[in-house]
Amino acid sequence: MTRTANLSIAFSDEQAMILDAAKDFCRDKSDNTAVRALLSSDTGFNPDIWKDMIALGWTGLALPEHFGGFQMGIGATVPLVESMGKYMLCTPFISATIVAQAILRGGSKTQQAEWLPAMAKGCIGSLALLDNEDWGAVTTSCTLTQTNDGLILNGKKLLVNDATVADFFLVLADFNGTPVLVRVEANQLAEGAVKIKTLVDETKRAANIDFSDVIITDDAILPNSTNTLIDVRLIGALLIAAEATGCAAAALNTVVDYLTTRKQFGRLIGSYQSLKHPTVDMLIQMDSARSFIYHAATLINDGALDKDTEIACRMAKAQAAEALSFAGDRAVQFHGGMGFTYDCDAMLYIRRAQWAQHQYGDPQHHRKMLAPLLLD
């Protein structure tokens, strides 16, 4: 491992093993025909594939052994998520992993012992953070109030990922002026509380949820919520960055295949300089994003995330989102009129880019947050 200033990248044998296994798995399970077949499904994923991932132990990759995991750390999930992005394999893995990390970092020992073994076996949690579409918001209108009947949760959350398949939610609420994460079981919600939201990326699923008048017990509140919120936002940014980087690689492959087979005026269109240079730019941006995500994966650990790790996660998300946005746009443009149709795979990539851009903060948000880390 080499280190210069804030640059540290190490690709462990374990990560290489996971990447190889994940590439084979995702390629075999999720070709573009399979991806398209799931666009109109209720859940957006194949439950048999999710069961296979659980059987492989991937839902416990980042969890300690005494909770049924492999104790490989959150960095070990990055190559898996990158491969999922490359083959557009959608499952609740990212949502569940983020929630498991929140419990691991912010939960009491009792909460961890009760909740994490189930998550290692595939129990699905989803994080409910947003009151609006501003990932940079530091306050919430969702409230937790002490009443004569106990603690009552009230409020609505937007764009909760994998909401229809989640077994429970971690909900951000205000409790006497302090932000807290509160566990709410899916069966505690009133009928009609989950409103499915149509997304620009039709491979993804999310919903708006009404958490009004939900009774909460004291043991459902994560005791270390404040610091955990900072960490899970960064972990979420890193995992979305890894997925976006994989998808950018897929867009690049699609472009290269097209440019090396499509002819115009008797020449392969890949021979034209006006197409060569942007294709190289796609490669440079994608490989830069890949360096950033593995840099962050090298630094991240199970403790509180330090300044270097925060910088790395924010750089990764900013670069990966822009790399995928550029790659998706070029893929559509290079395919001409066909690129704007559903029959062209380029449309899958540009829609994923538009979705990934805003998840856990867009590039502008992360640049804004990076500036004081570097200059103050």
pLDDT > 90? residue 252 = yes
Q: Same domain for 163 and 277?
A: no
Q: Are residues 160 and 245 in the same domain?
A: no
DSSP assignment, residue 59?
A: G
- Domain of residue 170 covers 126-224
Q: What is the CATH number of the domain that holds 306?
A: 1.20.140.10
Dump pLDDT digits (tens) for 314-362.
999 999 999 999 999 999 999 988 888 888 999 999 999 999 999 999 9
Residues 6+ apart with CB under 8 A from 305: 230, 231, 234, 313
Residues 173 and 70 grouped into a single domain: no
Task: Give the residue from 174, 190, 224 where a domain finishes.
Answer: 224
CATH at 64: 1.10.540.10
How far, in Å, are 261, 268, 271 from residue 264 at the CA level? Answer: 10, 6, 10
Q: Are residues 55 and 149 in the same domain?
A: no
308 lies in the same domain as 355: yes
> What phi-psi label fits residue 14: left (phi over 0), alpha (psi between -120 and 50 degrees) or beta?
alpha
The pLDDT of residue 3 is above 80: no
Mean pLDDT of 292-316: 94
Q: Answer yes or no: do 171 and 117 share one domain.
A: no
Judgement on whether residues 26 and 89 belong to the same structural domain of the protein = yes
- The answer on 360 and 308 residing in a single domain is yes
The residue out of 103, 124, 145 marking a domain boundary is: 124
Cα angle, residue 101 at apex, residues 227 and 150 outer, rounded to 5°: 65
User: Taking the C-alpha atoms of 308, 310, 313 and 319 in order, what is their torsion angle to the nearest 10 degrees?
Assistant: -80
Provide the CA 108 distance to its chain's centre, in angstroms: 25
pLDDT in tens, 192-250: 999 999 999 999 999 999 999 999 999 999 999 999 999 999 999 999 999 999 999 99
Co-location of 59 and 102 in the same domain: yes
Per the CB < 8 A criterion, the answer to whether 279 and 256 are in contact is yes
Tell me which of 104 and 148 has the higher pLDDT. 104
Task: Report the number of distinct structural domains present in the chain.
Answer: 3
What confidence score (pLDDT) does residue 1 get?
37
Q: Is 133 exposed, middle or buried (0-12, 13-18, 19+ CB in 10 A)?
A: exposed
Average pLDDT of the chain is: 93
Q: Both 230 and 219 in a single domain?
A: no
pTM recorded for the entire structure: 0.95
Q: What is the CATH number of the domain that holds 137?
A: 2.40.110.10
| Amino acid code (one letter) for 240 | I
Residue pair 103/329 in contact by the 8 Å Cβ criterion: no
For 112-140, the pLDDT digits (tens) are 999 999 999 999 999 999 998 888 787 89
| Domain C-terminal end among 80, 100, 124 | 124
Please list, in sequence order, all residues whose beta carbon lies within 8 angstroms of the beta carbon of residue 149, skipping any fewer than 6 positions away: 215
What pLDDT, on a 0 to 100 scale, did the predictor assign at position 205? Answer: 97
- Same domain for 46 and 113, yes or no, is yes
The reply to whether 197 and 266 lie within a common domain is: no
